Amino acid sequence: MSQNPLRILVTRPAGQNQKLCAMLEELNCIPYRLPTLEIRPAAPAQLDQFKQRLKAGTPPDWLIFISANAVRHGWPLIAEHTDIVSATKIAVVGPGSRKALREFGVTADAMPEKQFDSEGLLELPWFRQPANEKILIIRGVGGRPRLGDELSHRGASVEYGECYQRLLPKQGGEVLADWLNQAAVDLVTVSSRETLRNLFKLCPTDQHPALRKLTYLLLSKAIRTTTQELEITGSVTIAPEQSDQGFVRAIQQLQSGKL
């Protein structure tokens, strides 16, 4: 890596990238904000379906929030139902979701210790044998089925509350092409498979070869398969922990030549 300030492409959604960008600036890096994912509330019909699930029958035994966005968009709807709030245990996928929940004054009952994804949740003792447990998974529209399918296989009764949608931003392709033409990007931070796929969707096709050659810093091992799907040939590094601090630690190691 060059000894000049690292120019780092931050692909997180607008409104969720400020903290990381501030931390990068403290490292004397130059963050380039290019949201490749837009987060919006789910469509009215989907929200109505979610609300009906909250009203129907007995409260669930567990609520599982699979992202911070699920907390931000789902908890305000859940909070209207005091029977659920008082009786239901809450699991979150990782520190970001736990922090988002705390902002509502709510404490999670369960969270994976290390692996902050569906597989980590499935390893928790409460979900190893969840027979007859009623579980409501709060997620975005069209989320991965892995968690719900496995919990159902283990005997749980699983439903979904879809409260937000992930969209491809309409802008960003031209500025990305300019940065690539100028060789102005040293490193790309990637928080999810979808943010990486959308980066390539936003980028003009003739710039894909340049995009593939960049250095990528991934928030989790699960994203590595997507770098292979997209035929990325540049260096790929996994952050040591799934958090902003994990990104920072990896970048510090890059700066010092230890990665």
In whole angstroms, give the CA distance from residue 177 to residue 41: 30
Structure tokens at 204: 């003009």
Q: Which of 183, 253, 197, 72 is nearest to 92 (CA)?
A: 72
Q: Which of 6, 31, 8, 22 is nearest to 245 (CA)?
A: 22
User: So what's the pLDDT on residue 258?
Assistant: 57
In 10 A of CB 94, how many CB atoms? 24
Percent of the chain with pLDDT over 90: 86
> For 10-117, where are the alpha helices, taking DSSP H only?
18-26, 44-55, 68-78, 82-87, 95-102
Chain-centroid distance, C-alpha 177: 25
User: So what's the pLDDT on residue 3?
Assistant: 67
In whole angstroms, give the CA distance from residue 255 to residue 259: 8
Structure tokens at 152: 């159902």
Chain-centroid distance, C-alpha 118: 12
Is residue 75 within 8 Å of 104, Cβ to Cβ?
A: yes
Is residue 242 within 8 Å of 94, Cβ to Cβ?
A: yes
Classified as helix, coil or strand, 136 is strand
Parse the chain into domains and list their residue ranges: 62-166
pLDDT in 10s for each residue of the chain, 259 residues: 456 899 999 999 998 999 999 999 999 999 999 999 999 999 999 999 999 999 988 999 999 999 999 999 999 999 999 999 999 999 999 988 999 999 999 999 999 998 888 999 999 999 999 999 999 999 999 888 999 999 999 999 999 999 999 999 999 999 999 999 999 999 999 999 999 999 999 999 999 999 999 999 999 888 999 999 999 999 999 999 888 999 999 999 988 875 5
CATH fold of 62-166 reads: Rossmann fold (3.40.50)
Q: Which of 183, 258, 207 is nearest to 1 (CA)?
A: 258
Task: Give 126-160 pLDDT, tens digit per residue.
Answer: 999 999 999 999 999 988 899 999 999 999 999 99
User: So what's the pLDDT on residue 259?
Assistant: 54
Is residue 65 within 8 Å of 88, Cβ to Cβ?
A: no
